[in-house]
Structure 1
């Protein structure tokens, strides 16, 4: 089953279920999504309410080797005492659903990762995002989907680099070589 969404020039959104031809147009994108899900027989879950300014919502994951599930003993402390604003969750592996403060999403993620490492000795190595990273428009905000993808890529790179024997100096040298300010 394929569901398609199209933003129209007049500000409305059109959704179509390609399987049966059901089409709906509405000014509210979530209403279009709800009706398409209903037509497809899928459960629709509305998005969570917006967070207050300066807070960010993200899903931190720990995917060590594919064999460690939510109940793995190394996560006992995090399940009992997660960072404030985070709730342990099973997503096929250990994860934390977080709503945390920060100037940007990356600041919030970095502070959370550092707190977990300091208090529990565990380095979270992934950040869940939808889809695969693609090119983003220059106008993409620092707290949006693109920021989550960047944080995920950095956490994954740090994890994989450590497993290959690279340290902080090598990663920082590589970042510095790019000229990033």
Structure 2
């Protein structure tokens, strides 16, 4: 595994060497020793699956606060997404900036999202499945959300959203908080 630091401190694009032959491939999604060697927290306590049926499905931007603040490893097991990590740490030099990556079952890459950052994605194909590894259990009372189209973030989404939950559509703008 290669841990490529991104522009947001603590965020990594994780590239894997995926040997392919006539049978297909066998790839490690997670290796605690390699994460530890790279200095990345790998104390995952929850693993979740996200299924998205339609291209243009947007989820996010979400984070957790307090004791439920979490690091997150996002892996695309089927299809392709545009994945985003937004720095919401007010004391960070990259506050309100974002980094992004294309994750797909073909490229086998993963995104590591540090504590204090919001995460979101848009599906670039139909039938997308994501696996999330999280270092804290989800707590709805400590969940925070940010508008995907907030001008303060200026995220350049590659496709227009077709499906967004009511909750994600109605988070308040940062300037109104």
TM > 0.5: no
Instruction: Using structure 1 for the length normalisation, give the TM-score.
Output: 0.25
The alignment's TM-score, normalised by the length of structure 2, stands at: 0.26
Question: Which protein shows a greater Rg?
Answer: 1
